[in-house]
Amino acid sequence: MSTAPSTRSTRSRILAVGPVHVLPGEGAPAIEQMDSIFEALGTIAVCPASRPVEAVLLAPEESEDPGELVHSAEALRRLDATVQVVIVSAQPISPSIANAFDGHLAPPVDAPPLLDLLGVRIDAKQPPPPPLVEAPPTKDASIGSPTSTGDLDAVVPVQSNEEGMHQLGDTDLVEAMLHDARGVRPLALRLIMQQTGWTECLIDIEGKGEPIQFGGGEYGSLVVPGRSPDEIRPWASWIARWLALDEAQRELRDMAFRDELTAAWNRRYLASFLEDAIEEARQLRRQLTVMVFDIDDFKSYNDRFGHAAGDIILRNTVQLLSSVIRDGDRVCRTGGDEFAVVFADMQAPRQPGSAHPDSVETIARRFQEQVCNMRFPELGLDAPGTLSISGGLASFPWDGHDGNTLLRRADERAIESKRRGKNCMTIGPGARQDWPEDDGTAEEDPSRQDAD
């Protein structure tokens, strides 16, 4: 096991990601339950120096990829190298990944082994950390009293104003970082205006203001009309730190949800995105289609040309598919040469008058043809058209009302494509229907047959 000796004299917080049960008893530490690894990262990022996080306990699910656990440990240490990462699992840890963690405990966790492993004594009677709330500042007070050098341990106050309206604070910024696709930038600018009384505050990417820089990163310039550089500079320093943390968080999210080889989204992301996309499609009464496909006889290419050539084929295939889909769609790698594409279709049709089914079917077949016509130097100069794919398409709501059902139906049709001789796309009957006039819960007609 690796070691991560603490450089802090007092530490008192333990976070848990996943179901962790600590046996009651004298000396048993309080555990702060996190909903995800990203919430743990956010908690570590904003914890004050007086109450730093001592350790993170990871309780993986049985089906969880060990590689994802290693990515989680790396992400935690990248944010704070002194945080100890401990696996809580009834199963033994593979020697190949054991060095990525500081220890292994079997559930349920008993306090003495946990504390001995961490090498600390934690006061079991210590109350949970208070929320990051301070007394309302004066009108001219700054958030955490930022200075030109920046105070990373300062607390951003969260309170209500005289009218009872919510005042923005650090917890809002963390929420935006974790859940808002726009990141913290819009909220941070609003927060500055709220705390200073400025009526206008913006970030200029061309550098016409006070530079926003931190840790080697440059994020434009903070511009506030009518204010002096001395007034703006502390806020430029403050927002630079939040933007740097936001950027690091996005990189960590990519590490957790991206396939390292192809840069496609991975299976974990697919499950989350697909359920959200289906719910949005249900609310907007729009169709959603899933395509599952793999490369025909891919193993033969690896055997003939080597795994390096196979890796290039996979990357080029993802790049080609990414170039023909729209921004709202997602390409995911679910296995070795297996992929799933979610056509969320939440934007306007690509061409006036075009319908979602026609557009998706057209894209799928165009992609299939382009794969066949691709030239891969790794396959030899005289080997165009030797690559092909077989896939299947399933659509919400006709083929299923949840992600697992849609993926299963699409996979069944991909298998049918293989049986038909490969280099084939099997399109389900739902992909040629209009949205039903009922509440979107129409059941599939089992008498309908797949159409090639």
CATH number at residue 297: 3.30.70.270
In a domain, 152, yes or no: no
pLDDT digit string, tens, across residues 299-331: 888 888 888 888 988 998 999 888 888 878 899
Question: How much is the pLDDT for 12?
Answer: 62
Indicate whether 357 and 282 sit together in one domain: yes
Question: How much is the pLDDT for 49?
Answer: 61
Question: What distance in Å separates the CA atoms of residue 207 and residue 225, rounded to the nearest whole number?
Answer: 14
Joined together, the tokens standing for residue 367 give 């992609």
In a domain, 136, yes or no: no
Per the structure, how many domains does the chain have? 3
Specify the range with the lowest mean pLDDT, choosing from 15-29, 51-65, 427-441. 427-441
Decide if pLDDT at 5 tops 50: no
Joined together, the tokens standing for residue 8 give 């802090």
Indicate whether 275 and 229 sit together in one domain: no
Fill in the amino acid letter for 43. Answer: T
In a domain, 441, yes or no: no
Binning pLDDT at 50, 70 and 90, where does residue 447 land? very low
Question: How much is the pLDDT for 388?
Answer: 87
* 3-class state of residue 151 by DSSP: coil
Top mean pLDDT of 1-15, 261-275, 431-445 is at 261-275
In a domain, 426, yes or no: yes
pLDDT digit string, tens, across residues 137-179: 333 333 333 433 333 333 333 333 434 446 787 778 887 887 7
In a domain, 297, yes or no: yes
Indicate whether 218 and 319 sit together in one domain: no
In a domain, 230, yes or no: yes
Neighbours of 428 (CB within 10 A): 27
- Mean pLDDT over each residue of the chain, to the nearest integer: 75
| Token pair 């794919």 in the structure block, residue | 389
Indicate whether 272 and 189 sit together in one domain: no
The average pLDDT across 396-410 equals 92
pTM above 0.85, yes or no: no
pLDDT digit string, tens, across residues 92-127: 888 888 888 888 888 888 878 888 777 644 443 444
Binning pLDDT at 50, 70 and 90, where does residue 239 land? very high
Binning pLDDT at 50, 70 and 90, where does residue 346 land? low
Indicate whether 274 and 407 sit together in one domain: yes
Decide if pLDDT at 291 tops 90: yes
Residues facing 447 on adjacent strands: none
With 0-12 CB in 10 A as exposed, 13-18 as middle and 19+ as buried, what is 111? middle
- 429 DSSP assignment: G
Indicate whether 228 and 278 sit together in one domain: no
Contact 425, 417 (CB under 8 A): yes
Q: φ and ψ at 340, to 5 degrees?
A: -135, 135
In a domain, 326, yes or no: yes
In a domain, 386, yes or no: yes
The set of residues, in sequence order, having a beta carbon less than 8 Å from that of 33 and lying 6+ positions away, is: 15, 16, 20
Indicate whether 384 and 428 sit together in one domain: yes
Question: How much is the pLDDT for 289?
Answer: 92
Indicate whether 295 and 379 sit together in one domain: yes
Indicate whether 190 and 217 sit together in one domain: yes
Range of the domain at 417: 267-432
Fill in the amino acid letter for 155. Answer: V
Contact 391, 417 (CB under 8 A): yes
